[in-house]
Amino acid sequence: MRLPFSSRLSRLSHRLRELARNRPEEAEEFLDTHQDEWEEIAETDPGSAADILEALHEEDAADLLQDLDADDAADVLDEMRAPAAADVIEEMTTAAAAELIAEMEPDQAVDLLEALEEEQLRDEVIAALDPDVRLAINRLIVYPPDSAGGLMTTDYAALPVGITSGEAVEALRRLHDEIGSNLTYVYVVDVQGKITGVVPFRELVFARPHTGLDEIMLADPVAVTVETDREIVAELIQRYHLISLPVTDAQEHLVGIVKVDEAMEAAQTEATEDIAQMVGAGAEETVYTEVSISVRRRIPWIALNLVIGLLLAQMIGVFEGLIEEKAVLASFMPMIALLGGNSGAQSLAVVIRAMAVGSLPPGRATRAVRREATIGLINGAVIATLSGLLGGAVAGDAGIGFVIGIAVFANLVAAGIVGASIPIILRRLGQDPALASNIFLTTVTDIVGFGGFLLTAKLVLGL
């Protein structure tokens, strides 16, 4: 049971978080010599304790964690980001790691185990667990992390449909230690274990003792299967304002629940993965990923950029004579490509965000492209006029200003269309819509920006 968090301890934990981030050695030395304060912080505010440990070296964090009671240490591990917690676990013996993981909630323990880089260590830790704990973890670890099965917890309240509300309350008193805080909803199942309804705990408490569960339950509640993608899980929880969402297997048996905090964390993870993939970084890459893995994931996209750069250089080389006669043209080329790139990135972000929250079904894709094309036309006209006037004034040549205006207009229109189209095309091809989309966009805006500008200059200026 957690104790009230005093203002004194709150100030101390805040100072220690700042100290750990700026001078980790001093923070570790203080905690090592002030064991009582460290234990109190971990017991009353595991979130702050987790922040402190994440800022320390893995070896020091592992030592401090093992100084705590197993249940307090497990609470702190629960609050840590899985990759950081895995780094700490890797500094412990197999027996010590298994002891802490056994105290964690199964779904959190699975997240931590999946974050371990070495499969051998993961297998050794699982093998060292008690049979019941090992069974609970093995039931969850088979599901992909981005599925409802990978997000769910098996600690939930499920009662048979034939009992009364009074009997249900008595049963929940006996289950309290097993299901902890997951008592917001009580799920009603039939004799086969299939979900038939849900009763908010508040309604159950205020119901008359002899009222049957089937009389107060909400029949046919929203549910997902273990294979359901995490994006859909987060969308359903948000749409129906749920605290948790039941998960069933292929036979419609209730096997777990996804809590709202897990769903929101999954949605945040999905969004950050999209950002990483837009620029060619690995979807699962974090600051804790091994350098060799990050290098392998990034090199192909950087090599693709190299090839694209060489093609652009070849294309510009075709206009070498033009640039020699009007050297000032070269100074405006980066500006035109930059304007197109920024405009296209805006369209790209809007479309990918719409896909991420499920508000862009395939039937509305064409409308989304038309919308971004219209925005490109309007913005292109405004920015083209402005850039043409300013460019002509800077160059002291109205002809060059006219060329700049045409090139900017064409690039912004192309950027709007391409920025909206790339993720839609990738989705139709069965790929992640964010997959290196920014690299593809930049390729188009650079080609249209550089090539279109120089070609227009050649035609308009007659050089």
Measured from the Cβ of residue 384, the count of other Cβ atoms closer than 10 Å reads 22
> Does residue 338 form part of some domain?
yes
CA distance 113 to 104: 11
Positions of E strands within 162-249: 185-189, 195-200, 218-219, 224-225, 244-248
Domain boundary, last residue among 203, 238, 260: 260
What angle is formed at CA 160 by the lines to CA 155 and CA 162, rounded to 5 degrees? 160
Single-letter amino acid code for the residue at 311: L
In a domain, 277, yes or no: no
Contact (Cβ atoms closer than 8 angstroms) between residue 83 and residue 50: no
| CB contact at 8 A, 120 and 149 | no
Q: pLDDT value at position 435?
A: 63
Least confident of 11-15, 120-124, 317-321, 333-337: 317-321
Tell me, what's the pLDDT at 2?
47
Q: Rounded to an integer, what distance in angstroms lies between the CA atom of residue 450 and that of residue 438?
A: 18
Whether residues 235 and 319 share a domain: the answer is: no
Yes or no: say if 275 and 283 are a contact pair by the CB < 8 Å rule.
no
Tell whether 14 and 125 lie within a shared domain: yes
Q: Considering the domain boundaries, does residue 119 fall inside one?
A: yes
Q: Which of 241, 260, 279 is the last residue of a domain?
A: 260
- Residues 218, 215: Cα–Cα separation, whole Å: 9
pLDDT over threshold 50, residue 351: yes
Residue 150 lies in a domain: no
Among 142, 169, 191, where does a domain finish? 142
Query: From CA 347, how far away is CA 21, in angstroms rounded?
Result: 37
Closest by CA to 415, choosing from 359, 363, 346, 358, is 346
Q: What is the pLDDT of residue 267?
A: 65
Q: Six-digit token pair at 184? A: 């917001």
pLDDT digits over 308-348, tens only?
778 878 878 888 788 777 888 888 888 888 888 888 888 88
Q: Can you name the residues that pair with 256 across neighbouring β-strands?
A: 247
Task: Look up the domain containing 303 and give its range.
Answer: 291-461
* Same domain, yes or no: 299 and 256: no
pLDDT at 188: 92
Looking at the structure of the chain, the number of domains it has is 3
Long-range contacts of 171-178 (CB under 8 A, 24+ apart): 172/204
pLDDT-wise least confident of 113-117, 185-189, 402-406 = 113-117
Confidence category of residue 100, pLDDT binned at 50, 70, 90: very high
**Strands across the sheet with 244-248, in order?**
224-225, 244-248, 254-259
Indicate whether 101 and 168 sit together in one domain. no
224 confidence band (pLDDT: 50, 70, 90): very high
| Residue pair 162/170 in contact by the 8 Å Cβ criterion | no
* Calculated CA dihedral for residues 377, 382, 387, 389, nearest 10 degrees: 130
Q: Is 149 a member of any domain? A: no
For residues 137 and 166, state if they share a domain: no
Q: Are residues 321 and 354 in the same domain?
A: yes
> What number is the average pLDDT over the span 222-237?
89
pLDDT in tens, 408-423: 999 999 989 988 898 8
Strands 195-200 and 254-259: unpaired
The CB density around residue 46, as the number of other CB atoms within 10 Å, is 21
Q: Are residues 122 and 28 in the same domain?
A: yes
For residues 176 and 311, membership in a common domain is answered with no
Nearest to 345 by CA among 314, 376, 321, 317: 376
User: What is the CATH classification number for the domain harbouring 67?
Assistant: 1.25.60.10
Q: Give the number of other Cβ atoms within 10 Å of residue 252's Cβ.
A: 15
* Token code pair at residue 168: 């249900």
**Do residues 112 and 168 share a domain?**
no
Residue 59 included in any domain: yes
Residue 151 within any structural domain of the chain: no
32: number of CA atoms within 13 Å, CB side? 13
In a domain, 274, yes or no: no
DSSP 265: H
Q: Are residues 327 and 447 in the same domain?
A: yes
CATH code at 398? Answer: 1.10.357.20
The pLDDT, as a whole number, for residue 179 is 61
List C-alpha distances in Å: 234 to 216, 333, 357, 436. 27, 44, 9, 24
Residues 306, 218 within the same domain: no
Find, among 232, 231, 43, 253, the residue nearest to 156 by Cα: 253
Answer whether 0.85 is exceeded by the pTM. Answer: no
- What tokens were used for 266? 């999954």
Q: Crossing angle, helix 260-278 and helix 230-239, to 10 degrees?
A: 130
Instruction: Flag whether pLDDT at 385 surpasses 70.
Output: yes
Checking if the pLDDT of 3 tops 70, the result is: no
Q: What is the pLDDT of residue 1?
A: 42
Tokens, residue 158: 């499920």
**pLDDT at residue 180 above 70?**
no
Do 18 and 75 lie in one domain? The reply is yes
Please name the helix (run of DSSP H) or strand (run of DSSP E) that holds residue 126, with its range, or none.
Answer: helix 119-127
Q: Is the pLDDT of residue 142 over 50?
A: yes
Helices (H), 279-364: 291-318, 320-325, 328-356
Q: Cα-flanking dihedrals φ and ψ of residue 25, to 5°?
A: -60, -40
Token pair in block for residue 353: 């965000």
Query: pLDDT band for position 177 (50/70/90)?
Result: low
